[in-house]
Amino acid sequence: MIHRDIKPGNLWLEAPPGWAEAPPADRPPLPAVARVKVLDFGLAQPAGEELVSARVLGTPAYMPPEQARGEPADARSDVFALGVVLYQLLTGRLPFPRSDRAPGVRAPAPGAGARPAPRAPRRRWSI
């Protein structure tokens, strides 16, 4: 299954009751049983099945350049999108400026995203 729209809004953290409502400073560490669930399979398609569409489907900030150009999505598309989500989780920012991630705009060159280490708050590196 290829999701084709992995983004923070489609990922659900299953945490202990009351964990998300607690102020961030008072939250205990998540237990080892915490899970992330993927939501919204409205754009999903079976792997190996090519979808022909005149429109680019997905969220531009999280889609790989190939998908933004209208090429078929495959499992690598979801891996790219998850990488963008993880980068954003660590740094609080997207790896590419929004103008570079819109369909029809030039794709970012390999290595164009800023390295996360200088941007990530120290506390996040303790995870």
Altogether, the residues listed in the chain come to a count of 127
113/115 Cα distance (integer angstroms): 6
119/93 Cα distance (integer angstroms): 8
Q: Assess contact for 71 and 44: CB atoms under 8 A.
A: no
| Residue 103 φ then ψ, to 5° | -55, 140
For 43, 61, 63, 119, the CA distances from 69, given in Å and listed in that order, are 17, 13, 10, 29
5 catalytically annotated:
yes
Catalytic residue (choose from 5, 26, 40, 100)? 5
- The set of catalytic residues is 5
